[in-house]
Structure 1
């Protein structure tokens, strides 16, 4: 008897429906065909144990499971439940005609309980698109799938519950969530706040400019100056996630299995801080079945690289193209997958190996040329993609013990959102440009016009400070953002002057 159930395979951040055909006929042995991996081939043992535990029998005849289309590789243990239900129906132990109406996914424990799976959100989106009535899945994943409306989300805890549901003995009400209410409740719920930071007003200002224009930042300073603490608070002043951005971000985290159980729509911007021992594949994504890397998990949020020179050179260099294109392409022999990677890069580093070069009180013990060699670990092309270079100095005792309350993240965020609103109007005709940092060079000339006094100042600064040619466009972009924060249409001389000071690493002789 031929039985059909339907599952789904996730490639990249998209899902593809898989037809699972089961034939129980005369003969012996259990066969799974259609490009399954080892986890699927091992499903026979899990299914057999679960069926026996729940009082059903595994057919002692020939069982063929075909997973179509056969040219797409299927991976993981999430096909256990649809295969098990197909075997029960094919051996006439399950009496129902409703199996083809639902996408069915779930990993079986040996006692028939269901374990959570990855990639539920894209599977639910595809199921609704293809007109399925509902989605039967482990209860732990139900809230994530319920983000998608117009699809019956049927949460089950055991294989027996799924059997009883299909045979009509158990009525399971579809899980329905008010996605917008959840989103509004969880939006901007950050544990950190800029109000916790004493002093460092110049660094706060630099991060406000970075958030307002979508600029990448590098902070240079001695250990203990507060670089990491400030970086962790950057997401709190970025504009609140839109519903579309939240769906995109949740989808990526779902595919990577980072949402956890009973999770729903993400309401805050992601903050990813990988250790400096990370591999290039873990950073940009990849593997035999390509998975999103840290730069994609930071999509619509912040990627923080602490101690930047300690990262392997190859790891930093693979970021150069994604920083420009806002996406990363993973190519394999049979498939090419694009992952979104629209993130803000914030990096921190010590100025030298000992950490105290240019320190106001402590003396640097590094030998001649050591500082420059340390800085050279970060390549010029990568620095070229970082708009703001900020020098961080230690906080004094008086600043740490100050009783005056600092400005909150919400207050700063309101100014950032006003500046982003101006940019949204400015770039309304350009669908791929959302902020000043994304302007191509030809657009900079038109949008970042400066007067004669500004040109004189910029020329003098480049000559006297020894600024490199690559600093020119970056200074104009940052000046445009500063003008947006000030609410002025023209870039004034004070805006340029402030932008110029954020090019520390471009100055000749900065490292001695």
Structure 2
């Protein structure tokens, strides 16, 4: 029976599903009928596949051809199915079954001359094939380094449809997996470059140690952006599992390097203040693509001039800040992307933003409107609020502050202490700890909790604010090498929460 079959992977978000592709040749007028909810790019695959098959020396069936992609209810998008479609057609036309097709997943786009072109989302597709128990996967040669990041499955790279056909028939070979795919770490900006701002530097250290969110306010040119750019250098390297998570997101977004795709350091994402909601959280027709919050997963999302960002864009951050993921419903289904990032906000104190506060020309109403875009619910999720002040001339010639390497050692020790303490409860950083756990099993004594009770009674803190202040207090204790927060830690955490005080 003229029926051919091959397999590929459909990716939605960072999740995938195995797609079975069948080619059936029957009598009737010549024509190609593609079924299985294909999008426009997949509909055009009929012409690409026909030209590629013809140009690699194989025959195209001159009769009715039906191409079915299953599961039929799953929307299929993109050009990743091209080589699987071509192999299924050749198998049906030649009425020949290649045993390797029963254990191999095929991924790749075809050029008209039969070359195999790279595609997006190869890493999550290979992870899906491994999870589903497939023995091997064939990818474009340009994606081979990315696919080689996945252990436990055989990975092959193809340069052309002719080479793939010869390999299936046992008359040729494909390129094997490559090794050494870790990306070269970018140079780390040194914290010692920041002039003065002792209190803000300490806030950045606390943010790094506990994975807390941070707000920096102050006049232009005072060091807000410099401090934010140095936060990723204080964070520990990503674990192998975290590296694969982050790399998979960047694979779907099409942002990976071809030769060294693995991301091993926390990323720094700084979208422009004119970004839309779709650019921030993800969007697009069909199934949504990852936005800035997902690209910053396990890293830092820096929003400079945050008071200039649209209110709807800022409010869209509230759900990923709480849940650590973003779910985007679009025409072709719901895409889920991880989005556990550290948020750093930077803002001027008013629209005119003079170097000296006494030179401000803004009326009081304009000031309230300017920072009023930062809503209470959003600010309630920010643990550390720091106001930066102009530095004196002596700070420029003074001895430089601590380097990133020295601060990173303290951050690593604090994170190790927190990870050991919270490991039985399934979390690793203080910022992830649930409020009930802090208030019950790790409850502080009455005297230590007194400042928080008073702030709660005065309406200065919400219950969420109390929990977040406690998390910062635990981070301060970890940095100080203490087994539990004391009264000083709670007061310092409360001063950060309320945006005042110095170290």
Do these two structures clear the TM 0.5 threshold for a shared fold by scoring above it? yes
Correspondence for 2:295: 297
TM norm structure 2: 0.90
Correspondence for 1:164: 166
| CA-CA distance at 1:286 after TM superposition | 4.0
Equivalent runs, 1:248-327 vs 2, <5 Å:
248-287=245-284, 288-327=286-325
| CA-CA distance at 1:93 after TM superposition | 9.0
Correspondence for 2:371: 375
| Greater displacement, 118-127 / 379-388 | 118-127
Matched, 1:175 2:213: no
Query: Does the 8 A contact of 1:217 with 1:345 survive in 2?
Result: yes
CA distance in 2 between counterparts of 1:200 and 1:67 reads: 60
Structure 1 counterpart of 2:470, from 469, 476, 499: 476
Correspondence for 2:495: 501
Aligned residue-pair number? 496
Query: Does the 8 A contact of 1:224 with 1:394 survive in 2?
Result: no
Correspondence for 2:345: 347
Query: Does the 8 A contact of 2:268 with 2:300 survive in 1?
Result: yes
| CA-CA distance at 1:176 after TM superposition | 4.3
CA distance in 1 between counterparts of 2:324 and 2:98 reads: 48
CA RMSD of aligned residues (A): 2.7
CA distance in 2 between counterparts of 1:379 and 1:488 reads: 35
Structure 2 counterpart of 1:85, from 76, 84, 87: 87
Query: Does the 8 A contact of 1:448 with 1:480 survive in 2?
Result: no
5+ residue gaps in structure 2?
A: none
Q: Label 1:62 to 1:263 Cα distance change in 2 as closer, same or farther (>3 A).
A: farther
Q: Label 1:157 to 1:411 Cα distance change in 2 as closer, same or farther (>3 A).
A: same
Correspondence for 1:425: 420
Write the deviation string for residues 359-385 of structure 1: whole angstroms up to 9, x where unpaired.
547611112322122111110000000
Equivalent runs, 1:389-408 vs 2, <5 Å:
389-402=385-398, 404-408=399-403
Correspondence for 2:11: 10
Structure 1 counterpart of 2:194, from 189, 192, 197: 197
5+ residue gaps in structure 1?
A: 508-512
Structure 2 counterpart of 1:212, from 197, 204, 209: 209
| CA-CA distance at 1:105 after TM superposition | 1.2
CA distance in 2 between counterparts of 1:372 and 1:229 reads: 26
CA distance in 2 between counterparts of 1:503 and 1:221 reads: 17
Matched, 1:365 2:361: yes
Equivalent runs, 1:60-209 vs 2, <5 Å:
60-92=62-94, 96-177=98-179, 186=184, 189-209=186-206
Q: Label 1:338 to 1:361 Cα distance change in 2 as closer, same or farther (>3 A).
A: closer
CA distance in 2 between counterparts of 1:149 and 1:456 reads: 52
Query: Does the 8 A contact of 1:95 with 1:167 survive in 2?
Result: no
SS in 1 for 2:471: helix
Query: Does the 8 A contact of 1:448 with 1:491 survive in 2?
Result: no
SS in 2 for 1:355: coil
